[in-house]
Structure 1
Amino acid sequence: MTPTATPAADNARLTAFVNFPSPYTQALLERALVAVLPALEMSSDIPKEPPKLQWADYDVLSLDVPRHNPGYLISSYIYRKALIRKHQLHTTVNEYLAKCRHRGIKSALESGMPKGWVLDIQFADELDELLMDDLYELEEVMRGNEGRAEGEREWFILKPGFAERGQGIRMFSTEDELRAIFEEFEPPSEDEDEDDDDDGERNDDDADDDAGVGGTAVLTSHMRHFVIQEYVPRPVLFDLHEGDGAQLGQKFHLRAYVLVTGAYTVHLAHTMLALFSDAPYTPPRIVEGQVDLRPHLTNTCLQTDAYGQAVEQDDLVRLFWDLEGRTALARDNGYNVMGTVDKEWLDKTFTKVGQVVAEAVKAGAECGSFNLQLMENAFEIFGVDLLLSHPADATSLVVPDVTLLEFNASPDFVQTGDVLRPKLLDMFKGVVRISIAPFFGIDTVGEEKEEEMELGEDRWGWRLVGKGQVRASWA
């Protein structure tokens, strides 16, 4: 990020507004800022006039002044739906890949994003027309699945474009299963609604509290935009209780913290997490008329034990680098041992993750400019979810395929847990050194001035994985 022409005298009086609803995150940010910029004047009270630095939740940021004055720095881009909305990310990546193919350019997203379809639907009876028009390819595959055993079918995942924390995610393989999902999401009829209101037991506002499948019910009238993606087979599995008896592989996804600065650079944090499901992995299967989602959903907020009690997050969250020495598994007819993870495997996987996330930001910058407007005086940390899977022809452990699942704004750092809190603190200190101190031209504690980072360079717990330029980034 290019430093602004802030006078040295102003640096001594640099003021900051730091405010997050999570005490866990708030405390870490305050400690990081004080450790690196001890002269900083900091407040968590919402100011009448915006200070030079705002590092806060998007909903409490004052955006008017920073939007027009490049001397003010904010911790979020104002427009970034091209990344953080699932259906818009899918559309953005598809448009970008079409450009790459036209130019004859190979992209990491070609194999880093599952094939899928975006649909706009409010009622189940709209599905017939969609299957004839926009979803005709999907309809052909689902028709081919009819009569096949569950293990021989091609499976798909349905995700609401605006939902989070696993809400509304479903799996299906046939048209009947897809139709049943949207019927489940149908709002109650007027007669049902009146009956429920008379009983004083339920109304539409209770929809998000439905038991549903794992408490993840939604209403299509609230969600409307959905994305359907091919299910990624052969996920990399690990047994969290390896050596304790029977070998039971568990699915996980990576939570990568990605820092985007200015207009623009992309950094990937070495503090990358593996978030596990508590249920042993099985291929998709139907249990009591519904697809059992527990082995497939790895959101920590959805994990419960056999008694329905929330599982301690520290039990299901691992640092990615701590997987070294563990046995990687695959699941076909049974669990297959693929090999032991070593540092080289971790390094190459980390590099591949960096390529995928950097390319996704580039796609947003090139093809999502209306919904991703990168500003010189902004930075943002995204929580990016990715899946690792064994290549189809792999019989032993090789560098996995890396599939991008989604970008999350305002990631829930609490899921990192208490054990890894020091890692997060170091990560936030790196953000201060990379994004904040250079912007204001401030010398940081314990660091001499250094040249700008080069692509692939590691510094302060972050790796620079992408760099670009947005034309006319300032209006």
Structure 2
Amino acid sequence: MSIKVHLKMNCPYTNELIRNVLEERNDLFTLTDSSTLNDDNTLYWLEYEELDFDMLYRLIKESNKKKILANSYCIRKGLLRKAHFAMFVQKYLAKQPNSVLRDHYPETHILDLIHPDYLEEALNEAFELRDTLEANTKENTEPIPFILKASILDKASELCIFYTQAELEEFFTSKYDDDDESIANVREWIVQRYIKNPKLLPIYQNRKFHLRVYVVAERNLRIYVYDGILALFASFPYDAADNDQTFDRLRHITNTCVQIESKIDEEDLVKEFFSLESMDDDLRSRIFEQIKSIVKDIFTGLHNEITVFQPIRNAFEIYGFDFLIDENNQVYFLEANAFPDFKQTGNSLSILIKELFQNLVQHIVLPYFGYEESSEITQRKLHLVYEKQKTF
């Protein structure tokens, strides 16, 4: 019996690659636009808002034997919302003080702010941040930079690098005075210590870059890290001397959605990490091991936080994890996103995304429906780093 597939992703780039991979196995998959929502042997690969989570949970509760698989979990705000994740890390480190997250997640503070008039009260709650910002104003002190991020916004929205409380107040006041409803509705913010010594590669004009790592979660719960890693570069050379007055998004922010303002070619903005020049195999391997260790520890803790992260046995999900490497080759986890923007990979590296989907179909989708894992060989692989009651 073939597997019926409902496929509809809003991004044409992503939708086409998934369709191509499924059509390679047209002996097993049948793409369809019409069937009942709970047909047996059905794969739903849809946008989050289109998935019927009530149906998925009902099938689990009823111990239904129907084979239905969806491409997203319902509850995962503990991973995806920056403030929720920061609270999880605080709680987890209190229980596990030797966790690798202590050294691989930047110092983070949470601001609960409904209006700029209440910033003083919010900073009183985050008193350690308040004290550091005050110290930054003193003479003969090397100021510590911080970066502000909205908890629920992505694509580098509403980022602000600052040193003092006055600069933070100016950012919020200017945004609210413009009657920006989107920011007025954002209540949770995080403030992280800005990593001002990123790893720079002279061969790439010392432009700052971060790593986009695809992490796959399946059922309840296995976690894989994909070794087809992207290096996303800023458009212009990094300048650590930039301050709040001269801050240039095209030097500091490495998201490709920001770089559309530049005229740099796609191939110069997005590269494959394991093909970067001037980094030897040993260094790349050590960085990858750090990444796997961080991902494993994140899900080791999150798996027990069922109110904010709830994997279910008839679903899988792909996340985009962002990491930064500093000049000492230490890796820092920055944030995670669901339904990552695959098109930022560009056309020249689309094979990397295609192989991700091929691996997912071969090693996760087909076994779920009772088929043996495919023996097809891809250059890039999924690496199992966490399984319930097991660590690797």
TM (norm. structure 1) is: 0.76
List aligned pairs for 1:50-69, cutoff 5 A: 50-51=38-39, 52-69=42-59
Deviation at 1:239, TM superposition (A): 3.7
Aligned equivalents of 1:17, 1:433: Cα separation in 2: 18
Asked if 1:254 is matched to 2:211, the reply is yes
List aligned pairs for 1:214-225, cutoff 5 A: 219=183, 221-225=184-188
- 1:111 match: secondary structure: helix
Deviation at 1:93, TM superposition (A): 1.4
Of 86, 92, 96 in structure 2, the residue corresponding to residue 96 of structure 1 is 92
Deviation at 1:57, TM superposition (A): 1.5
Check whether the contact 1:96–1:363 (CA below 8 A) recurs between aligned residues: yes
Aligned equivalents of 1:416, 1:464: Cα separation in 2: 23
- Report what 1:268 is aligned to: 225
Asked if 1:433 is matched to 2:365, the reply is no
Asked if 1:229 is matched to 2:192, the reply is yes
Check whether the contact 1:286–1:292 (CA below 8 A) recurs between aligned residues: no
List aligned pairs for 1:101-180, cutoff 5 A: 101=97, 106-132=98-124, 134-148=125-139, 152-180=142-170
In the superposition, relative to structure 1, how do residues 27 and 40 fare at CA in structure 2: closer, same or farther (>3 Å)? same
List aligned pairs for 1:436-475, cutoff 5 A: 436-443=365-372, 446=375, 461-469=381-389
- Report what 2:345 is aligned to: 416
Deviation at 1:48, TM superposition (A): 4.6
Aligned equivalents of 1:352, 1:131: Cα separation in 2: 33
Q: Deviations over 1:399-421 (max 9, x none)?
A: x1111111101000001111111
Asked if 1:25 is matched to 2:14, the reply is yes
Aligned equivalents of 2:387, 2:373: Cα separation in 1: 24
- Report what 2:64 is aligned to: none
Deviation at 1:469, TM superposition (A): 4.8
- Report what 1:81 is aligned to: 77
- 1:234 match: secondary structure: coil
- 1:164 match: secondary structure: coil
- Report what 1:38 is aligned to: 27
Aligned equivalents of 1:311, 1:300: Cα separation in 2: 11
Aligned equivalents of 1:171, 1:309: Cα separation in 2: 20
Q: Deviations over 1:68-125 (max 9, x none)?
A: 2143211100111111111111111111111102xxxx21211111111111102111
Structure 2: any 5+ residue segments left out of the alignment?
A: 61-66
Deviation at 1:62, TM superposition (A): 2.2
- 2:192 match: secondary structure: strand
Partner amino acid for 1:431?
L
Aligned equivalents of 1:183, 1:310: Cα separation in 2: 32
Q: Deviations over 1:372-403 (max 9, x none)?
A: 11111111000010111123xxxxxxxx1111
- Report what 2:271 is aligned to: 318
Aligned equivalents of 1:274, 1:46: Cα separation in 2: 40
Partner amino acid for 1:120?
D
List aligned pairs for 1:190-201, cutoff 5 A: none
Over the matched positions of the two proteins, sequence identity in percent amounts to 29
Check whether the contact 1:269–1:462 (CA below 8 A) recurs between aligned residues: yes
Aligned equivalents of 2:140, 2:145: Cα separation in 1: 12
- 2:251 match: secondary structure: coil
Aligned equivalents of 1:375, 1:39: Cα separation in 2: 24
List aligned pairs for 1:384-399, cutoff 5 A: 384-391=321-328
In the superposition, relative to structure 1, how do residues 22 and 107 fare at CA in structure 2: closer, same or farther (>3 Å)? same
Partner amino acid for 2:257?
C
Partner amino acid for 2:307?
F
Aligned equivalents of 1:240, 1:348: Cα separation in 2: 21
Computed over aligned residues only, the root mean square deviation of the Cα atoms, in angstroms, reads 2.3
- 1:186 match: secondary structure: helix
- 1:278 match: secondary structure: strand
TM (norm. structure 2) is: 0.91
- 1:159 match: secondary structure: strand
- Report what 1:333 is aligned to: none
Partner amino acid for 1:427?
L
Q: How many residues align?
A: 382
Q: Deviations over 1:445-470 (max 9, x none)?
A: 5469xxxxxxxxx9961111112259
Asked if 1:15 is matched to 2:4, the reply is yes
Aligned equivalents of 1:401, 1:309: Cα separation in 2: 29
Partner amino acid for 1:69?
L
- 1:372 match: secondary structure: coil
Deviation at 1:293, TM superposition (A): 3.4
Asked if 1:378 is matched to 2:367, the reply is no
When structure 1 is superposed on structure 2, of 69-78 and 260-269 the one drifting more is 69-78
Partner amino acid for 1:67?
Y
Deviation at 1:430, TM superposition (A): 0.5
In the superposition, relative to structure 1, how do residues 437 and 153 fare at CA in structure 2: closer, same or farther (>3 Å)? same
Check whether the contact 1:384–1:407 (CA below 8 A) recurs between aligned residues: yes
Deviation at 1:268, TM superposition (A): 0.6
Structure 1: any 5+ residue segments left out of the alignment?
A: 1-11, 189-203, 209-217, 242-247, 327-340, 392-399, 449-457, 471-475
Check whether the contact 1:97–1:107 (CA below 8 A) recurs between aligned residues: yes
Asked if 1:344 is matched to 2:282, the reply is yes
In the superposition, relative to structure 1, how do residues 149 and 174 fare at CA in structure 2: closer, same or farther (>3 Å)? farther
Q: Deviations over 1:285-343 (max 9, x none)?
A: 236x4633332111101115xxx4554433200000111x42xxxxxxxxxxxxxx210
Aligned equivalents of 1:29, 1:373: Cα separation in 2: 25
